[in-house]
Amino acid sequence: MAGERPAEIVIVSLGSTEGLRRADEELAGSLTRAGARAVVASAAAPREVRTLMLTDLAWARRARAAAAAALERHAGSAPPAAIYSSTTAALLWPRPGAVRFDATAAANRPGRHGLWQRPLERRRLRGAGLLLPWSEGALREAPSLASLSRSALVLPVPVEPSGPAAAEGDRDITAITYAANPRKKGLDAVLAAWRQVRREHPSEAHGELLVAGADAGEISAAGIELESHEGVRLLGRLPAPEYRALLRRCRVFVCAPRREDYGIAQLEALADGCRLVSTPSPGPYAALPIARTLDARLIGDDLAAALGCALADPAAGYRERALQALQPYSRAAIDRLVAERLLPRLLA
């Protein structure tokens, strides 16, 4: 109706990682382009604590405060809809809303790490008006969600090429890995594979392995040392444009996550023309089935063999096929999903 105020939607952003922050910004942009008024309410980072149980509690309390303030601030004749970005953000919600998540505590907080989170999460997901998993895998991974699948809409995070990528023959960086949370990302396994490949394929692995996403202190605290590994350069935390520019020059993105809740770094690497070499890690790893289809030789528990294959015997047409496979993750595809299926359900 002409002159009618657009629907208001508050996205309660945990923002505890760069990937979560970017996902929330992308969702706000899609909702805005669909005609809504989207506001991101970011939780303030709490101080570091010793255990995952206390870490989740601290973040949940900060998310509740951010949500309550934003919902009050934007309350009008039509109260805003709320989207809690992650199940942690929803644990102590001030009022129900939709819940968006890459993975659940039922899956990534086993044993004592999720003693209080898992039962409360089940209640929150049952009470949510709409579930917005990043992937089908996130739904399948939690048995408690089986009965709720009808109230779910899979809503991936959009991934686009960051710019013109170098042709295969012009890529001057041998390999790169993203090591935020170095133990979880399997940096130790990546370094071991790199050392072996440099020994077995010296002509192909003569360049550098770049390590991004973590600084020297984080890597050392994870019990991993870099100094003894030849041809390894630590980049630390980089601004996103600078990091993506490196991907456009890289031949291979290599990783060995012990668990992957989604894998946006791997999807970005594929979008920017890298070959993805990875172990078949557990979790709702969105890039894994794509990478297997592109070149199954590059996915396996023998990471050194897969990396050597990617460098010495690259499959033809990999980048072109990767871009085709990533079409469902394009911003245009997600915008259509938001406008045609998400916004009507939020308003209902």
pLDDT at residue 5 in the model: 58
Q: Which burial class, exposed, middle or buried, applies to 120 when counting CB atoms under 10 A from its CB (0-12, 13-18, 19+)? A: middle
Q: What is the mean pLDDT of the chain?
A: 93
Dmax of the chain from CA atoms?
Answer: 69
Cα 44 to Cα 236: distance, rounded to the nearest angstrom: 23
Q: 197 by DSSP, 3-state: which? A: helix
Q: 186-195, 204-213, 261-270, 281-290: which has the minimum mean pLDDT?
A: 204-213
pLDDT at residue 77 in the model: 63
pLDDT digits (tens, 9 = 90+) for 309-321: 999 999 999 999 9
pLDDT digits (tens, 9 = 90+) for 36-94: 999 999 999 999 898 999 999 999 999 999 999 999 888 776 778 999 999 999 999 99
Closest CA to 224 of 258, 247, 198: 258
Cα 305 to Cα 300: distance, rounded to the nearest angstrom: 8
Evaluate if residue 28 carries a pLDDT over 80: yes
- What tokens does 134 get? 């990043």
The secondary element (H helix, E strand) that includes residue 122 is: helix 117-127
CB atoms within 10 A of CB 246: 16
Evaluate if residue 2 carries a pLDDT over 50: no
Q: For residues 199 and 260, is the Cβ–Cβ distance under 8 A? A: no
pLDDT at residue 79 in the model: 78
Encoded amino acid at 58, one letter: A
CA atoms within 13 Å, Cβ hemisphere of 288: 22
Residue 163 DSSP class: S
The secondary element (H helix, E strand) that includes residue 173 is: strand 173-178
Please tell me the pTM assigned to this model. Answer: 0.92
Q: 236 by DSSP, 3-state: which? A: strand
pLDDT at residue 1 in the model: 39
Cα 167 to Cα 158: distance, rounded to the nearest angstrom: 24
Cα 340 to Cα 31: distance, rounded to the nearest angstrom: 11
pLDDT at residue 149 in the model: 73
| Angle between helix 318-325 and 287-294 (nearest 10) | 140
Q: For residues 87 and 99, is the Cβ–Cβ distance under 8 A? A: yes
Domains of the chain, earliest start first = 8-158+330-347 (3.40.50.2000), 168-327 (3.40.50.2000)
